[in-house]
Chain A
Amino acid sequence: MRIVYVVVLVTAIAAVAIDHLSSPASDGTGTREDAAAARTHE
C-alpha cells in the first residue's frame, strides 16, 4: 500500500506542477464550487 501511495502522490504532485506551469498567468480571479450553479447564480 505504501508503494501505491508514493506512486499516486508523486504522480499527482508532478501533474499539478505541470498543469500550473503550463497554464496562462493568473488573472487574479479564483474559481469556486458553486460555479456549478453558475447558470442560476452568476
Chain B
Amino acid sequence: MSGMLAIDSATTSVPAPARDWPFLALATGATGVFVALVLLDGQPRSALLILCGFALGAAFLKAEFGFTAAWRRFLAGRDSGGLVGTLLLIALSAVVIVPVAALVPGYGGAGAPLGASLLVGAFVFGIGMQLGNGCGSGTLYTVGGGSGRMLVTHAFFIVGGVIGSLQLPFFLALGGFDPPLASDLLGAWGGLAATLASIALVAGVVIALARRKGVNFVPSVTMTIGAVVIAALAIATFLTAHHPWSVTFGFTLWGAKIAAALGYDFSAHEFWQWPGPQHALSTSVLRDTTSLTDFGMILGAMAAAAAARPFARAAWPPARSLLAAAIGGLLMGWGARLGFGCNIGAFVSGVASGSLHGWVWFAAALGGCAVGMRLRPWFGLSRV
C-alpha cells in the first residue's frame, strides 16, 4: 500500500512538459515576418530556404545532431558512432548533389582551392570547435535552443568571420590550386561512385579503429534518424538554392553589415570587392541564401525548444567557460573564412560535391580538435 502511494506520489509530482508560448510565438512570428518580406520581394525560393532552415534547426535540436562532441569521443577513445552518422549524412546528400551539380545547368558543387589558407583555416576552426563547444550548425541550433553560452560563441564567431574576411586574400596569395570535382574527372555517375567510395573508405578506417579498441562504431538510432532527415533537408536546400548548403558566410556578412552601419568602410578590402561578397554587402541580407537558412535554423530550433520546455531558463555558465566560448567563437569565425566554411559548408557539402577540399578540411579540423581538447581543461571544460 505504501509502495502504491509512493508510486502515485512520484507520478503526480513530475510536471508535464510545458510549452513556452511567448518564445514559441516569437520564433514562429519572426519566421512569418521573414517569409512575408521575401515573398513581397518576389522571392518564393527564398521563402523555401527559410523554411528548409527552420526544419533543419528543429531536426538538429531534436536529434541532438552534432559534430563537436562526436569528434571528441573519436579522438579520445576511438568511439566512431558519431563520425559514422556524419558520414551517412554526407553519403545520402552526395547521391543527389554530385549528379545534379554535374548534369543540371545552373547547379554547382562546393569547391575550394587546396593550399595554406584551407589548412590553416580548418585547423584553427577545429581548435575553436572544442573551445566554443559547437561548430557552425551547432552554434546555430544551440543558440536557437536557448543556450546563453552559445550566444557568446555566436557573437564572437561573427567578429572572427569579419577579421578572417579581411585576411583571406593574404592567405590565398600564399599559393594553392583548384582541385577538380570528382565528376569533372569521371563524369556524373563515375564521380558519384568515387565520392561514395571515398566515404566508405573513411568509414571503414574509423570503424576499424573503433573495433580494434573494442568501442562503439554504430550511430545511435536518434542520430541515424537525424542523419537521414538532415540529409533530406540538405538536398532540399541544395535543390532550392542551386548550390550546396552552407552556414558561415552568413555570419561574416552580418558582421560586415553591422560594421558598415557603424561607419566602417570596406571598400579598401579586397574580399569585399569580389563579386559575391560585394553583392551580398550591398543588397538585403534576406537575399543571401546562406543567411536565409541560418535565420531559419535559429528560429526552427527555438520553436522546437520552446514547444517542448520552458525556454532559456538555465543559469549563465562560469566566466571561464564564457571566455572559452568567446575565444572559440573568434577562432571558428576566422578559421571558417580562411577554410572556406565549417563542418557543413566545407566538410559535408565539400565531400558531398565530390571535392577533395572537403576531406583535407576534415583532416586539418580533426587535428585542430585534438589541440582544442587539450586546451579545454584550462577553461574548466571536460577534456572529453
Bin chain A's interface residue count. 20 to 34
Q: Is the CB–CB distance between A34 and B341 below 8 Å?
A: yes
Do A2 and B340 touch (CB < 8 A)? Answer: no
Interface 1/0s, chain B 34-50, versus A by CB < 8 A? 10010001110110000
Q: Tell me if B283 and A36 are in contact (CB < 8 A).
A: no
B314 — which chain A residues lie within 8 A by C-beta? 1
B172 proximal to A (CB < 8 A) = yes
User: Which of B65-73, B269-277, B373-381 lines the interface with chain A?
Assistant: B269-277
Tell me, yes or no, whether B286 is within 8 Å of chain A by CB.
Answer: yes
Q: Which residues of A sit under 8 angstroms from B276, Cβ to Cβ?
A: 31-32, 34-36, 38, 42
Main secondary structure of the interface of B (DSSP, over half): helix
Shortest C-beta distance, A29 to chain B (Å), equals 7
B113 touches A4 (CB 8 A): no
Per-residue interface assignment for chain B, residues 271 to 308, with 1 indicating a CB less than 8 Å from any chain A CB and 0 otherwise: 10011110110111111111000010000000000000
- In the complex, B78 has a CB within 8 A of chain A: no
Contacts of A20 in B (CB 8 A): 37, 41, 284-286
- Docked-complex contact A13 and B284, CB < 8 angstroms: no
| Min CB–CB distance A40 → chain B (angstroms) | 5
Known: A20-B41, A26-B41. A34 touches B243 (CB 8 A): yes
- Whether A31 pairs with B274 at a CB distance below 8 angstroms is no
Residues on the B chain within 8 Å of A6, using CB: 26
**Alpha-carbon separation in the docked complex, A25 to B286 (Å):** 11
What is the bound-complex CA distance between A6 and B151, given in angstroms? 12
Interface centre among A26, A34, A36 (most CB of B within 10 A): A36
B-chain residues with CB within 8 Å of residue A32 when the two chains form the complex = 241, 243, 246, 249, 276, 288-290
What 0/1 pattern do residues 5 to 42 of A give for CB contact below 8 A with B?
A: 11011000101110111011111011111111111111
Given known A9-B26, A40-B178, contact A31–B340 (CB-CB < 8 A): no
Known contacts A16-B285, A36-B168: A8-B37 contact under CB 8 Å: no
A8 smallest CB distance to B (angstroms): 7
Residues of A within 8 A of B (CB): 1-2, 4-6, 8-9, 13, 15-17, 19-21, 23-27, 29-42
Q: Can you list 17 A-B pairs with a CB-CB distance of less than 8 A? A: A1-B315, A15-B258, A17-B33, A17-B37, A20-B37, A24-B282, A30-B45, A30-B288, A31-B253, A31-B277, A32-B289, A34-B276, A36-B249, A36-B274, A36-B340, A40-B178, A42-B275
What are the 4 A-B residue pairs with the smallest beta carbon separation, nearest first?
A35-B276, A33-B249, A33-B246, A38-B274
